[in-house]
Amino acid sequence: MNLSQRLSGYELIHSYLKTLDSSSGVYRMLDDQKRVLYVGKARNLKNRVSNYSRYSPSHSSRITRMISETRSMMFLTTITETEALLLEQNLIKQLKPKYNVLLRDDKSFPYIFMSNEHEFPRLEKHRGAKNKTGRYYGPFASAGAVNRTLNTLQKVFLLRSCSDKEVEAGDRPCLNYHLKRCSGPCGRKINKEDYKLLVNAADDFLTGKSNKVQETLSLQMKQASEEMEFELAASLRDRIRALAQVQSNQGINPRTVSEADVISLHLDAGQACVQVFFIRANQNWGNVDFYPRVSSDMSHDEVLEAFMGQFYSTKDPARLIILSHDMENLNLMKDLLSKKLGRKVEIAIPQRGERFDLMVSALRNAKESLARKLANTVSQQKLLNGLAAAFSMATPPKRIEVYDNSHIQGEFAVGAMIASGPEGFMKNSYRKFNIIGENLTRGDDFGMMREVLARRFKRLLKEDPHRKEEQWPDLLLIDGGAGHVSAVSQIMKDFGIEDIAMVGVAKGVDRNHGKEEFHIAGRRPFALRKNDPVLYFVQRLRDEAHRFAIGTHRAKRSKAISASPLDEIPGVGSSRKRSLLLHFGSAKGVKRAHLSDLKSVEGISSALAERIYNYFNES
């Protein structure tokens, strides 16, 4: 065992100084289980690490605890400090260290997408990697904002929402055409040139040229009215109104700021809220709030730098980023984001003007959101205290897991787990389980629940046998009665886990909402009084698990129903599958087709035609 392994805290950190130089890089502090406690970057590694090697009154209690828990360190040198900043934020997102600022619930944002590969492009919602060829507009703050915008843009620009298959068939217009929400390419009601004019108009609006679009529509309406084409004029009037509705729904629409991410931070009571506004094409495309994990001793500078590094690790920044507070490494962040975007990124802390007004609006939203969250946290803690009292728990649970199954007479069976804690539902911890037990009797709810719990805790024991992480529950709520509790209790005993509280939630004799019975091993079933807030809390948890299980079951069932035997044939992708279905009408038609007919389908080679024919006619 070397010296550094026997030392800890200040002595251990000091022992590393002789091996370090003035290179820039990233350092990691690890505990006795080799878990990362903290990830930091440094322009000069030796100088930065030396700050931790001796006691200082300026060290906060968080830093002091971190140093005392340190049992080893790791170092990675980089050529530039910008590279160190990028590596630091990537490691924080990957390792989730205990003492770093951590962005929770980071997610991708939806875009509006318009393909340029089709003669009649359509507007559609897109989330995820931008791997399709076309134009992307966004990001929008939420799927709801995208759906509302798409719904109204269809009324304004009459772009199709129907599938490529319907357009290629061209035999009849879709329902939206008759509702005056589509120009009818699916029924050959519009030619390519006129449709392209609609596409260009939609592009003008989504890139900030809304005045041009309104002027064009107004001129067309006036001309139609003068020519006494009153039905056309009324249709154009409705489109202009719909366009005005989109703009009014967007709230703040700045005149001088065409593209920006507005980021404002509010800290209070050891909690943080970061509000982000997305300004694109002089339009407000929504806002979203984040609650990063912070400590009470962290500064605005530290939190903002960590948030931006993690937030933009998977997202493209706007050309302009407006901040509520200054940052020590502002130029470093500019360099990092400029390299990521491939063009200059400006970061501003405005003091006046429209940029300042945007920042103040975002900061006000951050303050109000954090106040609501703190109030909800207090209410949630009261409910957890009441839950502990109702179920005779020594301490309030920090993590509750709720389990439910969903199936139709044993078909498409799934299990679902949701989690909740002091801050409400923990949606990142939700889990789905496809029931795969081969020896289960169809519709065996007890067996399904046993399988789900066995898989859940087998994995937990493998990943965290010493229960050091926060993934271990304090309370299990099972949707079911004494039989379900007995089945789960046996599974937990088999794994040697007997210190987690477990409660079955049954509907009661009349199966009425509000008359739930609770089942705990070794106790008689009992109920809570009808107006007890804890009862409502348990109902809300159970209903959320039920909603999640039903949604998972429906998705599995829909996928199975829409599956085609063509999916199993090697070489038949989505485009060839579409060609075959258009030619023969159905998978059954493909199955009955003669080899010569298969060869005549566009895009199907002779070799592939023989493979398809043999697949259906092997017997």
User: DSSP string spanning 279-307?
Assistant: EETTEEEEEEEE--B--TT--HHHHHHHH
Percent of the chain with pLDDT over 90: 31
Same structural domain, 131 and 226: yes
Residue 4 pLDDT level (bands cut at 50, 70, 90): very low
Tell whether the model's pLDDT for residue 410 goes beyond 60: no
Query: What pLDDT score does 443 carry?
Result: 66
Query: What pLDDT score does 607 carry?
Result: 87
Among 104-108, 412-416, 540-544, 561-565, the minimum mean pLDDT is found in 561-565
Residue 409 pLDDT level (bands cut at 50, 70, 90): low
Tell whether the model's pLDDT for residue 248 goes beyond 60: no
Query: What pLDDT score does 1 carry?
Result: 42
Greater confidence (176 vs 308) lies with: 308
Mean pLDDT of 531-557: 87
Element (H, E) at 354: helix 353-390
| CA quadruple 578, 582, 588, 592: dihedral, nearest 10 | -110
Query: What pLDDT score does 244 carry?
Result: 62
Same structural domain, 316 and 440: no
Tell whether the model's pLDDT for residue 392 goes beyond 80: yes
Query: What pLDDT score does 225 carry?
Result: 75
Q: Residue 106 domain-assigned?
A: no
Give the tens place of pLDDT for each residue, 6-25.
677 899 999 999 889 999 99
Residue 269 pLDDT level (bands cut at 50, 70, 90): confident
Same structural domain, 408 and 542: yes
The residues, ordered by sequence, that sit 6+ positions from 487 with a Cβ below 8 Å of its Cβ are 446, 447, 449, 450
Give the tens place of pLDDT for each residue, 561-593.
656 777 778 888 777 887 887 788 777 888 888
Same structural domain, 127 and 51: no
Tell whether the model's pLDDT for residue 148 goes beyond 60: yes
Same structural domain, 404 and 545: yes
- Count how many Cα atoms sit within 13 Å of the Cα of residue 139 in the half-sphere of its side chain: 24
Would the pTM of this model clear 0.85, i.e. be above it?
no
Query: What pLDDT score does 173 carry?
Result: 82
Mean pLDDT of 430-435: 88
- Burial of residue 124, with CB atoms counted within 10 A of its CB: 0-12 exposed, 13-18 middle, 19 or more buried: middle
Q: Residue 510 domain-assigned?
A: yes
Query: What pLDDT score does 200 carry?
Result: 85
Mean pLDDT of 364-384: 89
Q: Are the CB atoms for 259 and 280 separated by under 8 Å? A: yes
Range of the domain at 320: 259-371
Residue 241 pLDDT level (bands cut at 50, 70, 90): low
Q: Residue 387 domain-assigned?
A: no
Residue 247 pLDDT level (bands cut at 50, 70, 90): low
Query: What pLDDT score does 438 carry?
Result: 66
Give the tens place of pLDDT for each residue, 462-520.
888 877 777 899 999 998 888 888 888 888 888 888 889 999 998 766 555 667 889 99
Give the tens place of pLDDT for each residue, 181-195.
888 888 888 888 888
Same structural domain, 227 and 197: yes
Greater confidence (172 vs 378) lies with: 378
Query: What pLDDT score does 68 carry?
Result: 92
Mean pLDDT of 335-362: 92
Residue 179 pLDDT level (bands cut at 50, 70, 90): confident
Mean pLDDT across the chain, nearest whole number?
84
Q: Give the CATH number, domain containing residue 314.
A: 3.30.420
Query: What pLDDT score does 155 carry?
Result: 76
Q: Which of 354, 371, 388 is the last residue of a domain?
A: 371
Alpha helix positions (H), 227-299: 230-249
Query: What pLDDT score does 384 carry?
Result: 93
Same structural domain, 491 and 611: no
Among 66-80, 111-125, 136-150, 163-177, the minimum mean pLDDT is found in 163-177
Query: What pLDDT score does 159 carry?
Result: 85
Residue 424 pLDDT level (bands cut at 50, 70, 90): confident
Q: Residue 139 domain-assigned?
A: yes
Q: Give the CATH number, domain containing residue 62.
A: 3.40.1440.10
Q: Are the CB atoms for 303 and 265 separated by under 8 Å? A: yes
- Token pair of 329, please? 């490494």
Same structural domain, 124 and 223: yes
Q: Residue 385 domain-assigned?
A: no
The residues, ordered by sequence, that sit 6+ positions from 368 with a Cβ below 8 Å of its Cβ are none
Mean pLDDT of 356-379: 90
Same structural domain, 527 and 570: no
Q: Which of 62, 95, 128 is the last residue of a domain?
A: 95
Q: In this structure, which amino acid lies at residue 606? A: S
Q: Which of 560, 582, 600 is the last residue of a domain?
A: 560
Alpha helix positions (H), 391-444: none
Same structural domain, 418 and 547: yes
Q: Residue 71 domain-assigned?
A: yes
Same structural domain, 169 and 42: no
Mean pLDDT of 285-296: 89
Our count of domains for the chain comes to: 5
Same structural domain, 516 and 576: no
For residues 26 and 84, give the distance between their C-alpha atoms in angstroms, rounded to a whole number. 6
Give the tens place of pLDDT for each residue, 588-597.
888 888 888 8
Residue 144 pLDDT level (bands cut at 50, 70, 90): confident
Mean pLDDT of 373-389: 89
Give the tens place of pLDDT for each residue, 26-58.
999 999 888 899 999 999 999 999 999 988 888
Q: Give the CATH number, domain containing residue 516.
A: 3.30.420.340
Element (H, E) at 323: strand 320-323
